[in-house]
């Protein structure tokens, strides 16, 4: 008797549900994507108990007739692919035809849909059709999912907490709203509104609805394109960063995707403008010929592969760095004046519904644009814009003193500046070492007493493989017995009295980056490490002449506003802010 037989369709759907329907957010994702593909302009997601009790998705799309409404729950049933060639020209969000069948097999589904004034109602429990009949006509589709995983107790038992499930759904809806600003999205949980976008097709307004007005005011509009790719969207100012990569949203042909390589390029492009362990907020829309991408990688359809990845990475890096390098990023200290308390009746959550045009005029950055005078954004205008030379983005500063042997006080006609002398010297050293490492000379110092280092056998093998690299850096290096290395000369730019420590640190860095070794990564880490070692320390008093030299050297840097670790080198107090501090602003003060 044959042991192999075709699996029952209901059983196959439950197995597929294990991949397609991982949690409540998976159901919301599949239903919302169907609504978008149905050309909806308004989509509402209503949850009860974070979706564990009920998920209801309503849209005003094209709807379905009776035949399609029933067929939609069949396995591998889809209207989006007709032949094999269509798989290489996918422009819809859904196409696999697995989602509805999988969802229906592990929940109680109630569908109401209307197409051309004919309404259809379908009820399915655990994959079994309970009712198919005509109903009242309403343009679009309403899909209600009750009791998710009621017939798969193991999956139900291992669902996360309600807060975790709700956070996951909210995160997805936020991102899909960013990818389709032309659609009005409303998300509620237990009748409390969590997201409400206006569907005006203005991405910045959607960013404001998702992240808040404060973040939206600090986003920069960017765009770039070549023969294959077109990229546009918004990137945050260097001061805006998060502890996770979740704020980096990449959208390809209207689809929110996850791609670690793209995230790495975005984060690396901000290098030295922010702390290394923090991540920027970006929303980038990438338009590309569908034949150059493969979205059929995973059932969730969020993983994607590009056929010209290197070209896309270079284009994105160029776009971000060009924007960062052409502006002056000096944090401005804002002094808030105390306001008297006035009791007045205001509607709850009034702040969330304020017009975007009523934005406070205070800013955290003095932004000086290039000759194009391009504004940070069309909605959130900066209060001050000045044209400066490409390499002279730091204004003229005149040192007047030193506080605690750490902070240099400077002034000009605009106000007062505070500079962190350690961060300033770090930036100067960093750019100097980057240039030296990129174009090494032949200067080296011979040692009267050679340095020896002993390593584990596996580390020794890696270092031995990269001897040529160290020799190009002007190290006279060779083997010295079992698993040992001898250094007879080192480059002249190693920090004085720290030559052995610095040499060992360089070798350690080489071991750290060996897995994904690139000369750029290696030079980057070495330059950062050496810059810190040779920088002026805190509580170290320097002369006014040395201050002037520091400022001049900083003015010649490509990025004079941040140390290699992303900390600011300089902050600004405007004349107006100083007057407010001393209560001189707005008063008829005597002039003495």
Q: Where are the alpha helices (DSSP H) in 52-202?
A: 66-71, 99-105, 153-157, 162-179
For residue 399, is it within any domain? Answer: yes
Residue 378 and residue 306 share a domain: no
Domain boundary among 196, 227, 257: 196
Q: What is the pLDDT of residue 69?
A: 83
Q: Answer for the pair 56, 143: CB distance below 8 angstroms, yes or no.
A: yes
59: nearest Cα among 80, 45, 79, 47: 45
Least confident stretch, 227-236, 367-376, 550-559: 367-376
Least confident stretch, 60-74, 429-443, 476-490, 495-509: 429-443
Residue 394 and residue 315 share a domain: no
Residue 97, CA distances (Å) to 43, 78, 126, 147 in order: 21, 5, 18, 22
For residue 465, is it within any domain? Answer: no
CA distance 224 to 217: 21
Residue 35 pLDDT > 80: yes
Q: Answer for the pair 447, 478: CB distance below 8 angstroms, yes or no.
A: no
Span 444-454, average pLDDT: 89
CA distance 114 to 125: 21
CA 356 to chain centre: 23
For residue 397, is it within any domain? Answer: yes
Name the domain count of the chain. Answer: 3
Residue 119 and residue 44 share a domain: yes
Residue 291 and residue 321 share a domain: yes
Residue 46 pLDDT > 90: yes
For residue 350, is it within any domain? Answer: no
Structure tokens at 579: 């007057």
For residue 543, is it within any domain? Answer: yes
For residue 514, is it within any domain? Answer: yes
Residue 245 and residue 153 share a domain: no
In 277-433, DSSP assigns E strands to 279-280, 282-288, 293-294, 305-306, 330-331, 365-366, 398-403, 407-412, 415-420
Residue 392 and residue 298 share a domain: no
For residue 345, is it within any domain? Answer: no
Residue 385 and residue 314 share a domain: no
> Which SS3 state, helix, strand or coil, does residue 120 take?
strand
Q: Answer for the pair 433, 423: CB distance below 8 angstroms, yes or no.
A: no
pLDDT band at residue 307 under the 50/70/90 scheme:
confident
Q: For residue 160, give every residue at least 6 positions away whose Cβ sits within 8 Å of its Cβ, in sequence order, or none.
A: 23, 168
Tell me which of 378 and 464 has the higher pLDDT.
464
Note the pLDDT tens digit of each residue in 72-108. 887 655 655 455 555 455 556 655 557 788 888 888 9
Residue 425 and residue 573 share a domain: yes
Residue 367 pLDDT > 80: no
Tell me which of 449 and 292 has the higher pLDDT.
449
Tell me which of 106 and 588 has the higher pLDDT.
106
Residue 586 pLDDT > 70: no
pLDDT band at residue 441 under the 50/70/90 scheme:
low
Residue 364 and residue 301 share a domain: no
> Which SS3 state, helix, strand or coil, does residue 134 take?
strand
List, in sequence order, every residue forming a beta bridge with 486; answer none if it has no partner.
Answer: 452, 478
Residue 387 and residue 526 share a domain: yes
Instruction: Kindly report whether the global pTM for this prediction surpasses the value 0.85.
Output: no
Domain boundary among 325, 343, 368: 325
Residue 510 and residue 392 share a domain: yes
Least confident stretch, 263-272, 292-301, 477-486, 583-592: 583-592
pLDDT band at residue 488 under the 50/70/90 scheme:
very high
Note the pLDDT tens digit of each residue in 469-485. 888 888 899 998 888 99
Note the pLDDT tens digit of each residue in 163-209. 888 988 999 999 999 999 999 999 999 999 999 999 999 999 999 99
Q: How many CB atoms lie within 10 A of CB 387?
A: 10
Note the pLDDT tens digit of each residue in 9-21. 555 555 554 455 7
CA distance 433 to 440: 10
Please classify residue 382 by burial: count the beta carbons closer than 10 Å to its beta carbon, then call 0-12 exposed, 13-18 middle and 19+ buried.
middle
At residue 509's C-alpha, the angle toward residues 485 and 506, to 5°, is 55
Residue 294 and residue 244 share a domain: yes
In 270-406, DSSP assigns E strands to 279-280, 282-288, 293-294, 305-306, 330-331, 365-366, 398-403
pLDDT band at residue 536 under the 50/70/90 scheme:
confident
* Residues of the domain holding 276: 218-325
Q: What is the pLDDT of residue 111?
A: 92
For residue 526, is it within any domain? Answer: yes
CA distance 284 to 212: 18
**How many residues are listed for the chain in this entry?**
592
């Amino acid at each position: 008797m044959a042991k192999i037989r075709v699996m029952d369709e209901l059983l196959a759907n439950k197995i597929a549900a294990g991949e397609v329907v991982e949690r409540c957010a998976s159901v919301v994702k599949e239903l919302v994507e169907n609504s978008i593909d149905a050309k909806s302009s308004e989509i509402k997601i209503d949850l009860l108990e974070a979706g564990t009790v009920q998920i209801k998705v309503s849209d005003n799309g094209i709807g379905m007739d009776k035949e399609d409404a029933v067929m939609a729950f069949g396995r591998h049933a889809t209207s989006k692919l007709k032949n094999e060639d269509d798989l290489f020209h996918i422009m819809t969000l859904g196409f696999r035809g697995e989602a509805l069948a999988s969802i229906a097999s592990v929940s109680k589904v109630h569908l109401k849909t209307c197409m051309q004034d004919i309404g259809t109602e379908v009820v399915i429990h655990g994959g079994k059709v309970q009712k198919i009949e005509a109903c009242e006509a309403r343009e679009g589709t309403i899909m209600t999912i009750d009791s998710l995983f009621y017939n798969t107790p193991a999956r139900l038992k291992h669902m996360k907490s309600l807060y975790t499930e709700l956070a996951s759904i909210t995160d997805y809806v936020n991102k899909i709203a960013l990818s389709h600003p032309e659609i009005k999205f409303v998300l509620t949980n237990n009748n409390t509104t969590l997201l409400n976008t206006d569907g005006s097709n203005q991405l910045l307004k959607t960013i404001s609805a998702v992240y808040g007005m404060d973040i939206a005011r600090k986003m920069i509009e960017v765009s770039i394109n070549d023969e294959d790719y077109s990229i546009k969207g918004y990137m945050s100012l260097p001061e805006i960063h998060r502890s996770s990569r979740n704020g980096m949203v990449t959208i390809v042909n209207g689809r929110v995707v996850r791609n670690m390589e793209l995230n790495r390029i975005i984060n690396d492009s901000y290098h030295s403008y922010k702390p290394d362990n923090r991540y920027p907020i970006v929303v980038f829309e990438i338009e590309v010929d569908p034949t150059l991408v493969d979205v059929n990688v995973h059932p969730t359809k969020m993983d994607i592969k590009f056929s010209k990845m290197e070209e896309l990475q270079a284009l994105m890096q160029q776009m971000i760095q060009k924007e960062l390098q052409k502006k002056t990023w000096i944090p401005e200290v804002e002094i808030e004046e105390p306001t008297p308390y006035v009791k007045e009746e205001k509607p709850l959550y009034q702040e969330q519904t304020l017009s975007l045009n009523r934005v406070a005029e205070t800013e955290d950055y003095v932004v000086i644009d290039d000759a194009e005078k391009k504004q940070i954004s069309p909605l959130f205008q900066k209060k001050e814009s000045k044209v400066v030379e490409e390499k002279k983005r730091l204004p003229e500063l005149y040192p007047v003193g030193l506080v605690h042997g750490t902070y240099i006080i400077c002034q000009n006609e605009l106000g007062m500046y505070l500079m962190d002398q350690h961060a300033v010297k770090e930036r100067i050293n960093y750019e100097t070492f980057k240039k030296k490492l990129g174009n090494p000379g032949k200067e080296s110092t011979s040692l009267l007493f050679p340095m020896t280092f002993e390593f584990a056998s596996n580390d020794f093998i890696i270092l031995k493989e990269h001897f040529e690299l160290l020799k190009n850096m002007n190290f006279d290096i060779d083997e010295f017995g079992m698993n040992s290395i001898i250094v007879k000369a080192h480059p002249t730019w190693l920090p004085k009295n720290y030559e052995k420590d610095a040499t060992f640190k360089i070798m350690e860095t080489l071991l750290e980056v060996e897995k994904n070794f690139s000369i750029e990564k290696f030079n980057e880490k070495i330059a950062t490490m050496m810059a810190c070692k040779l920088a002026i320390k805190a509580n170290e008093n320097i002369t006014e002449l040395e201050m002037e030299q520091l400022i001049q050297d900083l003015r010649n840097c490509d990025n004079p506003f941040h140390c290699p670790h992303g900390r600011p080198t300089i902050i600004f107090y405007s004349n107006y802010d100083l007057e407010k501090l001393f209560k001189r602003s707005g008063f008829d003060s005597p002039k003495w």
